[in-house]
Amino acid sequence: LPGTLSRPLPVPRVRDLAVAGPAVEPPPSLAHLVSADPGDRAAHAMGKAYRDVVRALRGRPGRIPDLVARPTDDQGVADLLDWAGERQVAVVPYGGGSSVSGGVEYRGDAHRAVLSLDLTAMGRVLEVDTAGRAARIQAGTLGPSLEDQLRPHGLTLRHFPQSFEFSTLGGWLATRAGGHYATGRTHIDDFVQSLRVVTPAGTSSSWRLPASGAGPSPDRLFLGSEGALGVITEAWVRLQERPRHKASAAVAFTDFQGALGAVRALAQSDLCPANCRLLDAGEAALSGAAHDGSSVLVLGFESADEPVAARLERAVALARSHGGRHEGTDGAGGREDGPDGDAAVRAWRSAFLRMPYLRDGLARMGAVAETFETA
């Protein structure tokens, strides 16, 4: 590509960053929870935005935390906040570190030191209510671990942001994350029953209720707060049965406006696909879903209790009425997906999950590749 480098930028070594010693030391009672290792501290200095990747490659991470703490329970979080408040130490909650909005960085100069509060040692599913389809889960639980712990119960949270592998329940809550499923319940807000939050002023624990009409919900204060109001330590979340029936298809369009019309018609129908994602010609080519300049509509249906092939067939027929082309038979031919499903859907899914790694590789070559959210 024009303007790119002839060879990848090297990954900087921690010893070349000249990480200064911490400005504070933890008290003996908390020392077992705290790390001052330069590599550990540097790894907690930034998130995963494109600007963060470039800054890291250039060896300019900004202000590196003085300490990294990994509490294992609510009491540890409270004790660390109490100590930090007494010593003018800023506390930055940290989950999987996948923030793309600067949410894991300290900005300012009002504090003498910075403590990165890593919650990943709090990674357990504490209770599962199978009859009520809900679970109480610690906020530091990473996506794959969360699903692994729910799987024996036949349940799933079914919340899959692109950062799923490297992000936590607490991070999803603090950022009001959205999953990659495009219809139905996709935002983490939709799954929350109650939150437990440790703040410098005390602990807030909301009632676990199916629904309430009793005025403003305290949970809404903390959802999307980016950790500014307190540290989310656990939550009761609504679950679903794990889907047993799945079907998928990819529909190609020569006319992008026709594809938009198909998406609108699907959104306004009663079909409710689990996935309804339109790739323009560029993204379709990059993902390998199409190589002839077509746009591609990725469709997916799933259910825990009934076959979904007929619903997919209706959706494909609707897309065809807007100029779409579907030549395969997986799902849309009346059959459920096998292990791999539609080939084009397979290509898109693989590219979707690989994209963050590709972006970082391109950054090492001086190329810019980034996602822009619009509404």
Where are the chain's structural domains? 14-118, 125-241, 245-361
Least trusted range by pLDDT, from 13-17, 140-144, 318-322: 13-17
Least trusted range by pLDDT, from 26-30, 170-174, 212-216, 354-358: 354-358
| Residue range 306-315: mean pLDDT, rounded | 95
Q: What percent of the chain has pLDDT over 90?
A: 66
329 pLDDT tier (thresholds 50, 70, 90): very low
Question: Has residue 331 got a pLDDT over 50?
Answer: no
Residue type at position 30: L
Least trusted range by pLDDT, from 117-121, 242-246, 359-363: 359-363
- In the CATH scheme, what is the code of domain 14-118? 3.30.43.10
CB count within 10 Å of CB 267 equals: 13
Mean pLDDT computed over every residue of the chain: 90
**Which residue do the tokens 């003498």 mark?**
112
Highest-pLDDT range among 3-7, 24-28, 369-373: 24-28
What's residue 349's pLDDT?
Answer: 76
What's residue 75's pLDDT?
Answer: 97
253 pLDDT tier (thresholds 50, 70, 90): very high
What's residue 330's pLDDT?
Answer: 46
The reply to whether 14-118 and 245-361 are identical in fold is no
User: CATH second-level architecture of 245-361?
Assistant: 2-Layer Sandwich (3.30)
What's residue 325's pLDDT?
Answer: 94
User: CATH second-level architecture of 125-241?
Assistant: 2-Layer Sandwich (3.30)
What DSSP character marks residue 12?
Answer: P
φ, ψ for residue 145, nearest 5 deg: -65, -40
**Could you tell me which residue, 73 or 179, shows the higher pLDDT?**
73
What token pair was written down for 32?
């077992």
Least trusted range by pLDDT, from 8-12, 115-119, 211-215: 211-215
**Inter-residue contact 253 to 261 (CB < 8 Å):** no
Q: Rg of the Cα trace of the chain?
A: 23
CB count within 10 Å of CB 30 equals: 18
Highest-pLDDT range among 12-21, 41-50, 136-145, 325-334: 136-145
What's residue 182's pLDDT?
Answer: 61
What DSSP character marks residue 25?
Answer: -
What's residue 1's pLDDT?
Answer: 56
| Residue range 19-40: mean pLDDT, rounded | 96
